[in-house]
């Protein structure tokens, strides 16, 4: 029997198995809810080129270049493998049928790519064995490392077989394009100098079959393994969210509706596709403040649990039967515990780290929505918060008449339609928190010094609803957002200044869903602008605050890409750039207060604020500079716990106000 007569049925069987496995998995996506991920095709194609083909995020990490080399070699070798398969079925079909001017460069490219892929695999194996980063050294990863080695082994065998086959053909004088294949030609020389020189034909046959069998095994294994991401990662980059990822979709509150997600089919098809796209690289886990401080939340495992749950429950759900494992339940494969779900600070570090643009955090919020809205199951300390928000529209339940108490030392005007340019939206912390009130006064002083036309809503101001939305209490958030939007519209408010990144992101990004496009500016950007335009002039450089360390707020930085403005303000006010923390900008480490965690106890693991304060103290700061009232509270509490009272915490507005004295 000829090689072709054996290979062809094997190939057909492998392709049928591949197609069947893909169908079994991808048909499960049909269980998910509808979601449009095809608007702005131009932008999506650009993002796909940048993140998938350009490997932007992959390259940002050490060893990322190695993955990039393997990825691109793999793409180039699709040519060689396509040729191999065609020739296996139809002998005589070969690149060599094309003119030398086309086939020569193609085989040269394949020859070089084979060597690069082989080197890439050797480096990847060495890294896994010798220089394993912490996040690859967990029980979870160890349990799955066999699969990683198997795939790397497949790739290495394919490359060795490639060189063996082409080297033998060149040695036998059967390769017309030998001049374009320097590495295969080198292999030929080695073969001719070895004992194999006398049995080149059987060796070529062996290499051919090795290549064929490994390729077929690879085709069969791919859709069943985590390396399915080879098929899904590129489309997932195309399908990424073009909205701000912490801006969750609105809910329709109709009687009898289900709210949030308690069963895997309540996720959207894209949420489910994310599960199939995870490369299990561990970058999200490595960036997550909850994981780092010993909480039962690991964003990688959340995505893995959704995938596992879908694979286990999917066939039952497709037949209209009940799921067999819960999505939210006790700790087990395919389930997320409630502690997992409540541990998230919505800092967005996972989303920012993921090389294939998976959106981990929004899935956690969807599960929170179910717990809060369908089951009234939430940590008991949130009960007060929810009641206070509903009744008094602030987290502490303080009377709205006290919203203007911060202004007892200065004259403040109400916002007047047609007369006032900016609404200074004070925010609940700025109005009620004794420490944050100092920041409010400092910012008001700055606005006056720069002759800005501004006014406040006074006791008419309501909470923006940020914590409610991130905690999954969408029902109350929806009510508050509607009330705020109506008030803004009635008063003709279009420009808003905020001192809190949470108010900033909610008014700017979330309220768009309610039909209002406000020009919202956080004070970091406004002050920077005023200083640069010369509209705000400082009377002195602030030197007395010593070594200033700057902490990026997640909701200003990662969620809104504002990194340079606060740094520039500090530099202008003090004459020196701030000292940077190791974890900064889009890799900044959360203070622990986002996602409504500000209002919750932190019983499990190390406190997140202590982790961050410990990091900051390694820089010997005299002052830690922040841009958020939550960060202020978390740092001040952490410094007290660390008995580092000599280190002060200042908002950048206080720094600048000091320079105005």
User: Could you tell me the smallest distance in angstroms from the CB atom of residue 352 to ligand SF4?
Assistant: 8
- d(C-alpha 149, C-alpha 144), whole Å: 9
Q: Do residues 653 and 427 lie in contact, with contact meaning Cβ atoms separated by under 8 Å?
A: no
Largest Cα–Cα distance in the chain?
A: 99
Binding flag, residue 67, ligand SF4 (CB under 6 A): no
Nearer to ligand SF4, 184 or 301 (CB): 301
- CA 79-80-86 angle, to 5 degrees, is 90
Residue from 104, 120, 289, 427 touching ligand SF4 (CB under 6 A): that is 289
Nearer to ligand SF4, 504 or 589 (CB): 589
565 binds ligand SF4 (CB under 6 A): no
For residue 56, the minimal CB distance to ligand SF4 (Å) is: 14
Question: What secondary structure does DSSP assign to 145-191, as a single string?
Answer: HHHHHHHHHHHHHHHHHHHHHHHHHHHTT--TTGGG-HHHHHHHHHH
- Residue 288 touching ligand SF4 (CB under 6 A): yes
Which segment (19-27, 236-244, 332-340, 346-354) binds ligand SF4 by CB under 6 A? 346-354
Phi/psi at 312 (5° precision): -75, -45
With binding defined as CB under 6 A, does residue 284 bind ligand SF4?
A: yes
How many CB atoms within 10 Å of residue 21? 17
The SS3 assignment for 333 reads coil
Question: Which of 280, 478, 510, 637 lies at the binding interface for ligand SF4 (CB under 6 A)?
Answer: 280
Residue from 158, 353, 423, 598 binding ligand SF4 (CB under 6 A)? 353
Q: Tell me the closest approach of the beta carbon of residue 265 to ligand SF4, in angstroms.
A: 21
* Closest among 450, 446, 408, 409 to 658, alpha carbons compared: 446
Choice between 261 and 358, CB closer to ligand SF4? 358
Does the footprint of ligand SF4 cover residue 305 (CB under 6 A)?
Answer: no
Is 631 a binding residue for ligand SF4 by CB under 6 A? The answer is no
Instruction: Name the minimum Å distance from CB 476 to ligand SF4.
Output: 22
Nearer to ligand SF4, 268 or 388 (CB): 268
User: Considering the rule CB under 6 A, would residue 350 count as an interface residue with ligand SF4?
Assistant: yes
Under the criterion CB under 6 A, does residue 658 sit at the interface with ligand SF4? no
With binding defined as CB under 6 A, does residue 596 bind ligand SF4? no
Burial (CB count within 10 angstroms: exposed 0-12, middle 13-18, buried 19+), residue 45: exposed
Q: Is 28 in the site for ligand SF4 (CB under 6 A)?
A: no
- Sequence-distant (6+) residues with CB within 8 A of 495 are 421, 422, 423, 518, 519, 520, 521
- Spacing of C-alpha 448 from chain mean position: 39
Q: What is the dihedral of CA 320, 325, 328, 331, to 10 degrees?
A: -170
Query: Is there binding between residue 367 and ligand SF4 (CB under 6 A)?
Result: no
Q: What is the Cβ-side half-sphere exposure of residue 635, based on CA atoms within 13 angstroms?
A: 29
Nearer CB in complex with ligand SF4: 8/145:
145
Minimum separation from the CB atom of position 359 to ligand SF4 (A): 9
- Examine residue 467 and tell whether it contacts ligand SF4 (CB under 6 A): no
- Nearest to residue 249, comparing CAs of 33, 31, 39? 33
Q: Is 287 in the site for ligand SF4 (CB under 6 A)?
A: yes
Positions that interact with ligand SF4 (CB under 6 A):
278-284, 287-290, 297, 299-300, 303, 344-350, 353-354, 356, 358, 360-361
């Amino acid at each position: 029997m000829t090689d072709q007569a054996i290979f062809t049925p094997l190939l057909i069987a492998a392709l049928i198995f591949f197609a069947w496995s893909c169908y079994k998995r991808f048909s499960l996506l049909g269980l998910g809810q509808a979601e449009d991920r095809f608007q702005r095709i131009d932008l999506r194609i650009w993002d796909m080129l940048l993140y998938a083909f350009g490997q932007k995020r992959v390259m940002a990490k050490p060893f990322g270049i190695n993955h990039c080399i393997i990825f691109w070699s793999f793409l180039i070798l699709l040519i060689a493998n396509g040729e191999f398969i065609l020739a296996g079925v139809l002998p005589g079909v070969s690149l060599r049928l094309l003119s030398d001017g086309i086939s020569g460069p193609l085989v040269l490219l394949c020859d070089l790519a084979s060597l690069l892929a082989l080197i890439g695999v050797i480096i990847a194996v060495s890294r896994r064995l010798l220089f394993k980063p912490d996040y690859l050294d967990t029980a979870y990863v160890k349990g799955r490392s066999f699969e990683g080695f198997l795939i790397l082994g497949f790739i290495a065998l394919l490359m060795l077989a490639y060189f063996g086959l082409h080297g033998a053909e060149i040695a036998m004088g059967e390769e017309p394009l030998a001049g374009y294949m320097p590495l295969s030609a080198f292999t030929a020389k080695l073969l001719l100098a070895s004992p194999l020189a006398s049995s080149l034909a059987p060796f070529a046959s062996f290499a051919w079959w090795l290549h064929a069998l490994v390729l077929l095994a690879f085709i069969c294994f791919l859709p069943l393994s985590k390396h399915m991401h080879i098929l899904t990662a590129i489309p997932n980059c195309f399908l990424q969210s073009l909205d701000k990822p912490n801006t969750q979709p609105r809910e329709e509150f109709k009687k009898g509706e289900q709210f949030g997600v308690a069963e895997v089919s309540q996720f959207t098809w894209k949420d489910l596709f994310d599960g199939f796209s995870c490369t299990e690289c561990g970058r999200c886990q490595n960036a997550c403040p909850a994981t780092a401080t010993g909480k039962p939340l690991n964003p990688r495992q959340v995505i893995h649990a959704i995938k596992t749950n879908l694979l286990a429950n999917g066939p039952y759900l497709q037949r209209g039967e009940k799921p067999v494992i819960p999505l939210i339940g006790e700790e087990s494969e395919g389930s997320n515990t409630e502690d997992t779900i409540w541990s998230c600070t919505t800092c967005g570090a996972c989303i920012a780290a993921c090389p294939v643009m998976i959106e981990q955090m929004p899935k956690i919020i969807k599960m929170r929505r179910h717990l809060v809205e369908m089951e009234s199951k939430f940590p008991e300390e949130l009960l007060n918060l929810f009641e206070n928000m509903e009744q008094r529209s602030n987290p502490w339940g303080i009377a709205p008449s006290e919203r203007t108490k911060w202004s007892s030392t200065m004259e403040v005007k109400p916002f007047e339609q047609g007369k006032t340019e900016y609404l200074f939206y004070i925010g609940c912390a700025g109005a009620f928190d004794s420490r944050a009130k100092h920041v409010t006064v400092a910012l008001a002083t700055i606005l006056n010094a720069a002759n800005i036309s501004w006014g406040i809503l006074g006791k008419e101001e309501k909470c923006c609803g940020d914590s409610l939305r991130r905690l999954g209490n969408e029902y109350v958030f929806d009510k508050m957002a509607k009330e705020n939007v109506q008030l803004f519209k009635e008063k003709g408010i279009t420009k808003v200044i905020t001192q809190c990144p949470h108010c900033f992101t909610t008014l700017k990004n979330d309220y768009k869903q309610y039909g209002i496009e406000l020009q919202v500016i956080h004070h970091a950007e406004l002050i920077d602008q005023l200083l640069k335009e010369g509209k705000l002039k400082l009377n002195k450089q602030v030197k007395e605050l010593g070594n200033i360390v700057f902490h990026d707020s997640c909701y200003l930085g990662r969620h809104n890409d504002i990194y340079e403005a606060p740094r520039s303000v500090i530099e202008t006010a003090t004459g020196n750039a701030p000292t940077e923390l190791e974890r900064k900008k889009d890799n900044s480490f959360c203070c622990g207060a986002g996602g409504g965690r500000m209002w919750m106890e932190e019983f499990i693991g190390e406190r997140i604020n202590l982790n961050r304060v410990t990091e900051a103290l390694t820089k010997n700061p005299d002052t830690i500079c922040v841009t958020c009232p939550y960060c202020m509270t978390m740092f001040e509490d952490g410094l007290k716990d660390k008995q580092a009272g000599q280190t002060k915490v200042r908002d950048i507005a206080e720094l600048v106000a000091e320079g105005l004295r």
